[in-house]
Amino acid sequence: MKALVTIFLISLAWLGQAKAENDQDSIELQGMFSYAANAAHFRDCRTGKSFPVAMVGPYAALEQAYLDSGVEPGKELTVAVRGRYLEHPATGGGTSEVILVVDAFEKVIDSAACTAIVSAELRNTYWKLREIEGKEITTPQGQQDAHLILSGDNSNVQGFAGCDSFFGQYSSQGEVLTFSGLGSTMMACPQGMDTEVAFLQALGETNRAVIEGMFLQLYVADRLLARLEAVPQQTGPN
Condensed to tens digits (0 to 9), the pLDDT of residues 210-229 reads 998 889 999 999 999 999 99
b/e sequence 158-185, b meaning 16+ C-beta within 10 Å: ebbbbbbebebebeeeeeebbbeeeebe
Query: Strand pairing of 77-88 and 27-36?
Result: antiparallel
What is the Cα–Cα distance from 68 to 63, expressed in whole angstroms? 9
What is the Cα–Cα distance from 117 to 203, expressed in whole angstroms? 27
The band of 209, judged by pLDDT with boundaries at 50, 70 and 90, is very high
Under 8 Å between Cβ of 56 and 36: no
Interior angle at CA 78, CA 76 and CA 83, nearest 5 = 105
Condensed to tens digits (0 to 9), the pLDDT of residues 24-54 reads 467 888 899 999 988 999 998 877 788 999 9
Residue 209, beta-bridge partner list: 218
Instruction: Mark out the alpha helices in the chain (DSSP H runs).
Output: 2-9, 12-21, 59-69, 193-205
Whether the predicted model's global pTM rises above the 0.85 cut: no
Q: For residue 41, count other CB atoms closer than 10 A to its CB.
A: 18
The band of 18, judged by pLDDT with boundaries at 50, 70 and 90, is very low
Nearest CA among 172, 160, 154 for reference residue 211: 172
Condensed to tens digits (0 to 9), the pLDDT of residues 116-131 reads 567 789 999 999 999 9
Residue 101's pLDDT is 93
Per CATH, 2-108 and 127-230 having the same topology is answered no
Domain boundaries, the chain: 2-108, 127-230
Overall average pLDDT of the 74-101 stretch: 79
Mean pLDDT is lowest, of 6-10, 174-178, 230-234, for 6-10
Residue 169's pLDDT is 98
Under 8 Å between Cβ of 132 and 222: no
CA pseudo-torsion sign 152, 229, 46, 104: negative
Q: CATH second-level architecture of 2-108?
A: Beta Barrel (2.40)
Overall average pLDDT of the 185-189 stretch: 86
Chain-centre distance of CA 165, in angstroms?
22
Under 8 Å between Cβ of 84 and 29: no
Q: State which of 6-20, 36-50, 152-166 shows the largest mean pLDDT.
A: 152-166
Q: CATH second-level architecture of 127-230?
A: Beta Barrel (2.40)
Overall average pLDDT of the 193-201 stretch: 95
In the predicted structure, residue 63 carries a pLDDT above the cut 70 = yes
Under 8 Å between Cβ of 90 and 96: yes
Question: What is the end-to-end Cα distance of the chain in Å, rounded?
Answer: 39
Residue 156, beta-bridge partner list: 169
